[in-house]
């Protein structure tokens, strides 16, 4: 009975941490206001053929700025994901130290067979 409780609690903890990570990344993606306009959209068309070079240059500059902002946003999300991974690693270390799980060299996670895996 204690093994089953330990397995259920471990599964709930890991699922919660993974779910939180997915939620954080999803919220970041939804709230991202940095967008790049479509090339063939009516908004991207030029108003005058005489100013094609100037407008194209300005449009390219705007796109470069938007792409730089998007890179910054993605870097921020990557940093958040790195922090979440560090939290997972810390959680796994604590679970391993308490004897709730064991991890082999290949990264496989095992629950102990005896009663030593019970939570206190």
Instruction: Decide: 57 and 65 in contact? Cβ < 8 Å.
Output: no
Residue numbers of the domain that contains 85: 1-27+59-112
pLDDT at site 89 = 87
Q: How far apart are CA 2 and CA 8, in angstroms?
A: 10
Task: Say if 75 falls within a structural domain.
Answer: yes
pLDDT along the chain (120 residues), means of 10: 79 88 86 72 51 69 90 91 90 88 87 60
**Does any domain span residue 91?**
yes
Does a structural domain hold residue 5? yes
pLDDT of residue 70: 92
Please tell me the total count of domains within the chain.
Answer: 1
- Residue 119 lies inside a defined structural domain of this protein: no
Question: What CA–CA distance (Å, rounded) separates 98 from 119?
Answer: 9
Domain membership of residue 37 (yes or no) is: no
Euclidean distance between CA atoms 27 and 9, whole angstroms = 27
**Which pLDDT score is estimated for 54?**
66
Structure tokens at 45: 């068309």
- Please state the pTM of the whole predicted model: 0.43
């Amino acid at each position: 009975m204690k093994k089953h409780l330990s397995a259920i609690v471990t599964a709930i903890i890991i699922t919660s941490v993974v779910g939180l990570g997915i939620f954080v990344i999803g919220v970041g993606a939804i709230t991202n206001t940095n967008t790049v306009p479509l090339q063939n959209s009516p908004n991207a068309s030029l108003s005058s053929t005489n100013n094609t070079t100037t407008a194209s240059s300005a449009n390219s500059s705007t796109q470069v700025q938007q792409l730089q902002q998007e890179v910054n946003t993605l870097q921020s999300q990557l940093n958040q994901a790195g922090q979440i991974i560090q939290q997972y690693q810390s959680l796994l270390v604590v679970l391993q130290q308490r004897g709730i799980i064991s991890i082999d060299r290949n990264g496989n996670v095992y629950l102990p067979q005896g009663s030593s895996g019970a939570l206190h």
